[in-house]
A and B are shown apart, each in its own frame.
Chain A
Amino acid sequence: MTTGFSLKRLLFMALVLLAYVVVMAPVLTVIVISFFDQEIVSFPPQGLTLDWFANAWARREFTDGMIFSLQLAALATLIGVPLGTAAAYGLHRGRFPGRRAISGLLLGPLAVPAIIAGTALYIFYIRAEFILDRGVVGTMASLVAAHVLLTIPWTVRLVSASMEGMDMKVEEAAANLGAPPRVVVWRVTLPMLRSGIVAGCMFSFIQSFENLELSLLLVAPGKITLPVAMLNYLEFRIDPTLAAVGTLQILLIGVLMLITDRYVKLSRVF
């Protein structure tokens, strides 16, 4: 805290390091063991190999799970982000009663634990099956609907944050200069909200992709998401094949974060 080298300063930095070791250790471990040569994880490794990535690719549960999760996350983002963006904009600009209540409600999915929301939705879907007389649980549509629930609060939060302190009079100026409403929306409003929308897309996609608890009860056998497939596998063992899948997921999320960071400073999101 004081400048210069001292024992206190050293202790302080050791505490900082300790926190980051605790946070990063599991992530780094997954990456490291995905290159281990032997099937049963033991330290130190006998050698290093890339075989496990091929092995992971050959396992249907992981490739199917990965593709399914990617589709699910993409669809949920595609539906949830426009809904959330429209809501955030309406709440910011609109003057109607119950605005505070609604904005609280839209953040609600963050407040209800996902495992409880998942069980509630499960019962809800089963009831819907009786009423509609057709399968609901396990269908893509029902899972996308559930995951849209994850994307709305993040989008509302991030787009609202990006509108703070923004001068929306530019819209009026454009309209006064003769731009029709459609042009104002596409050429003025949306570009102004871009950073919020990009951050909203990234968070929505990642939240949906890595979600376990909400999907747990809602997936059907044979059509499971990647986190559910990984959990099922992990209940028996941890091996380099699973670590390889984990490493791919870590890589995907890292790349998404770096791309997003080019558009919006992620450091300002929190």
Chain B
Amino acid sequence: MFLLVFPATLMVVVLLVLPMLGLFRTSLNLYSPQELMVQALSGENYLDALGDPYYQRILLTTIGVALLCMVLSLALSLAPAYWLARMRSRWKSLVMILTLFPLLVGNVVRAAGWMALFGTDGAINAFWRSLGGETLQMMYTPFAVVVATTAVVLPYMILTLASVVEAVPRQTEEAAINLGASPLRMFFRVLLPQAAPGVLAGCVLVFILSMNAYATPVLLGGPGFTMLAPAVYEQFVSAGNWPFGAALAFVLLSATLILTLAVSLFLTRSLKRRTR
């Protein structure tokens, strides 16, 4: 049986684990304009990445966008997740496919769609102007990035939440309603705490995806709005500073990890409090 597992494991070790170790080793090297990279064992790149106000701002922007997208997608997904979970008609599998579909279409195509919606002559502005409004500047704003990223991650949240809500027996809801709880109270006090593991899993997944978004911030944020994943790529392609780019990659990875833990702790505690 081990022989069956071995080839796939070898692939992942060679193509992911070893390169990641190599990337970490690179992050300890130093950059020199003449030789590009000088072998070293130094934490300088990390100190530079964390000490430079420019990269501090990028890190904070990335975290801010990711948290905002997480909260927005959670808020937007509650109603559809409940609707989907409790749906019993034969349309259910079609709705499931429709929810899954945008996920599989790919970020580039969806970003293109948002560009056509948000542009100066885009659909939203055309509609707004026909109502007599002034042209809105939406492209290349944080607003555009947050909306588009939320749209990218929303299906994950809906599907994750729906699957846990489905596992909560209907009788629980009916009991709460019969005991006089309003539907809203039932939802937030009874259903949501029981679905807590799903809320947590959804939030963590969505947070990680938003932290690492690439195509959406590049295309909708424009040159003036930088997030961390594009900044890593930039170091490799334009700046040619591999050690610093590698250090930025690990800053992004560790920030994601630390904040994921913080988000899980916060959510677990606040969801526990809700049941009291």
Chain A positions near chain B (C-beta within 8 angstroms): 1-2, 8, 12-13, 15-16, 18-20, 22-30, 33, 40-44, 83-84, 86-87, 89-91, 93-96, 102, 105-106, 108-109, 111-117, 119-124, 127, 145-146, 148-149, 152, 156, 206, 209-213, 216-217, 227, 230-231, 234-235, 238, 242-243, 246, 249-250, 253-254, 257-258, 261, 265-267, 269-270
Report if A148-B126 is in contact (Cβ < 8 Å); known contacts: A120-B19, A230-B108, A243-B112.
Answer: no
Asked whether, in the complex, the Cβ of B113 is within 8 Å of the Cβ of A25, the reply is yes
Binds A, one of B38-46, B48-56, B73-81, B263-271: B73-81
Report if A26-B106 is in contact (Cβ < 8 Å); known contacts: A148-B11, A257-B97.
Answer: no
Cα separation A28 to B117 with both chains bound (whole Å): 10
Cα separation A219 to B8 with both chains bound (whole Å): 24
Cα separation A234 to B221 with both chains bound (whole Å): 13
Asked whether, in the complex, the Cβ of B9 is within 8 Å of the Cβ of A106, the reply is yes
Q: Is B188 an interface residue (CB 8 A)?
A: no
Q: 16 interchain pairs (CB within 8 A)?
A: A12-B83, A26-B110, A42-B126, A106-B12, A116-B20, A117-B16, A119-B233, A120-B19, A120-B23, A123-B23, A217-B237, A238-B112, A249-B105, A266-B97, A267-B97, A270-B96
Asked whether, in the complex, the Cβ of A22 is within 8 Å of the Cβ of B126, the reply is no
- Prevailing SS type, chain B contact patch: helix
Please count the residue pairs between chain A and chain B whose beta carbons lie under 8 angstroms apart in the complex.
278
What are the residues of chain A within 8 A of B242 when measuring CB–CB?
Answer: 123
What are the residues of chain B within 8 A of A145 when measuring CB–CB?
Answer: 11, 15
Asked whether, in the complex, the Cβ of B117 is within 8 Å of the Cβ of A29, the reply is yes
Cα separation A197 to B275 with both chains bound (whole Å): 42
Interface mask (B170-200 → A, CB under 8 Å = 1, otherwise 0): 0000000100000100110000000000000
Asked whether, in the complex, the Cβ of A25 is within 8 Å of the Cβ of B9, the reply is no
What are the residues of chain B within 8 A of A217 when measuring CB–CB?
Answer: 233, 236-237
